[in-house]
């Protein structure tokens, strides 16, 4: 029996979920599908400058899993850019971070926790 996959913690959903060549009135025939968890690894490692280990802690998965997800996401980005394919970001096995868990080290959740802590202290 196959082992069930872990849900990956994600702090941000993409503001736009479709990227591709600008063509007048028509969409490219070929598309690349990137999952939300692949998007999150790109965001954390390349944009937020997390190590793979920090990314794994953030997403609550193994570092080797992060490495596999990240490599797949990079290959999809390259294929989309080089070959002019439409990139669609959707799906995957993830759950949105509520910002209240102690493991979370992203700026969004940290700010959210700090704001709640400040509010709680001012009420006392």
Please report, for the domain that includes residue 36, its CATH number: 1.10.10
In a domain, 54, yes or no: yes
- Average pLDDT for residues 67-92, to the nearest whole number? 94
- Percent of the chain exceeding pLDDT 90 equals 43
Q: Which stretch of 5-9, 54-58, 99-103 has the lowest confidence by average pLDDT?
A: 99-103
Determine the 3-state secondary structure of 8 from DSSP. strand
- Percent of the chain exceeding pLDDT 70 equals 73
Looking at residue 21, its pLDDT comes to 81
Q: Residue 82: pLDDT band by 50, 70, 90 thresholds?
A: very high
- The domain tally of the chain equals 1
Rounded to an integer, what distance in angstroms lies between the CA atom of residue 81 and that of residue 77?
6
In a domain, 87, yes or no: yes
In a domain, 61, yes or no: yes
Radius of gyration of the chain (CA): 17
Query: What length does the chain have?
Result: 124
In a domain, 93, yes or no: yes
In a domain, 103, yes or no: no
| Neighbouring residues of 103: CB distance < 8 A, sequence distance ≥ 6 | 9, 57, 58, 60
Determine the 3-state secondary structure of 110 from DSSP. helix
Mean pLDDT is highest, among 41-45, 96-100, 115-119, for: 41-45
- Average pLDDT for residues 10-23, to the nearest whole number? 82
Q: Which domain holds residue 43?
A: 8-14+29-97
Looking at residue 22, its pLDDT comes to 75
């Amino acid at each position: 029996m196959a082992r069930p996959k872990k849900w990956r913690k994600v702090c941000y959903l993409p503001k736009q979920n479709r990227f591709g060549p600008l063509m007048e009135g028509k969409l490219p025939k070929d598309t690349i599908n990137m999952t939300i968890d692949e998007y999150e690894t790109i965001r954390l490692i390349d944009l937020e400058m997390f190590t793979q280990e920090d990314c794994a802690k953030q997403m609550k998965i193994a570092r080797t899993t992060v490495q596999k997800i990240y490599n797949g996401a990079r290959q999809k980005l390259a294929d989309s850019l080089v070959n002019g394919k439409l990139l669609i970001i959707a799906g995957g096995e993830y759950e949105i971070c509520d910002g209240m868990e102690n493991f979370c080290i992203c700026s969004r959740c940290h700010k959210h926790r700090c704001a709640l802590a400040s509010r709680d202290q001012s009420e006392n």
